[in-house]
Amino acid sequence: MKKEGECCGTCRQVACIYDAQDKTRHVLKDGNQYNFKCMNATCLKRNGMFMTMESYKQCPPFNPDDCVPGTVQFDKDGCCQICETSNCVRVKNVTRLHVKDCISIEDVEVASCTGHCDDGSRYSMEKNTMMHNCSCCQEDKFSLQQVILQCANSSKIPHDYIYIESCKCTPTKCEEYTEKKTPEQFKEQELEEIRARLGERYHRRDRDDYYLQKKGYKGRH
């Protein structure tokens, strides 16, 4: 810019010159942005001076075990991993097993099922009644695992427990709203369903009781 009475002009900055991490150069006007993966660059004009401010995107917690297989990908910015989440997922935990006065001598990985499954109601013109669809997040595949317990009298005994390998939303009978049940009755009904699923090969009391305790019920004593 050349002022009156001066022979030579001066240079006045009108934009930001930004060299990005992807080895490219960009001319950004006031308020313009450039995004590269997790980084965002914004050109700002302050007191006649241009400056580039960088900020970095924070990705939310991501657990691939919560995803539908084959759906893991990066978001549109190429920064954070995203996926189609599964409503019913397996949750793993490492703990010491306590059975009466005995405790496992090593940490044991246990698993449980958690999440919400699709439920719904619709009116059937043909049957002239409401149709209900209900499903429950529960174990799909499970296996019998063995761990060594050390008891209060210093003896060591083997103990079998149920390990959940996968979970899924399983269709179940809907409870009619006219049917009045106490919370204890609902728990007893689910308890009996679990016993039936376990079958005769898991009929031993300690195995059955341990699995029921992990589901939040009291065992049979």
- A 10 A CB-CB count for 203 gives 10
Who's near 100: CB < 8 A, 6+ residues apart?
Answer: 151
Identify the CA nearest to 77 among candidates 51, 105, 40, 41. 40
What Å distances lie between residue 157 and 102, 104, 122, 218, CA to CA?
9, 9, 54, 23
- pLDDT at position 200, please? 47
Beta strands 73-74; 98-99: pairing state: unpaired
Start-end of H helices in the chain: 183-198, 205-214
DSSP 134-184: EEEEEEEEEEEEEEEEEETTS-EEEEEEEEEEEEEEEEEPPPPTT----HH
Whether the predicted pLDDT of 178 surpasses 50 = no
**137 contacts 172 by C-beta, under 8 angstroms:** no
Distance CA 97, CA 99 (A): 6
- pLDDT at position 73, please? 92
Whether the predicted pLDDT of 47 surpasses 70 = yes
Mean pLDDT of 90-104: 90
Mean pLDDT of the chain, nearest integer = 79
Sheet holding 33-36, edge to edge: 33-36, 39-46, 49-56
Who's near 35: CB < 8 A, 6+ residues apart?
Answer: 41, 77
User: pLDDT band at 147, cuts 50/70/90?
Assistant: very high
- pLDDT at position 179, please? 47
pTM: 0.40
- pLDDT at position 206, please? 55
Mean pLDDT of 105-122: 83
- The lowest-confidence range among 9-13, 24-28, 89-93, 211-215 is 211-215
Name the percent of the chain lying above pLDDT 70.
Answer: 75
Residue 198's Cβ-side half-sphere holds a number of Cα atoms within 13 Å equal to 23
Who's near 213: CB < 8 A, 6+ residues apart?
Answer: 219
Amino acid in position 42:
T
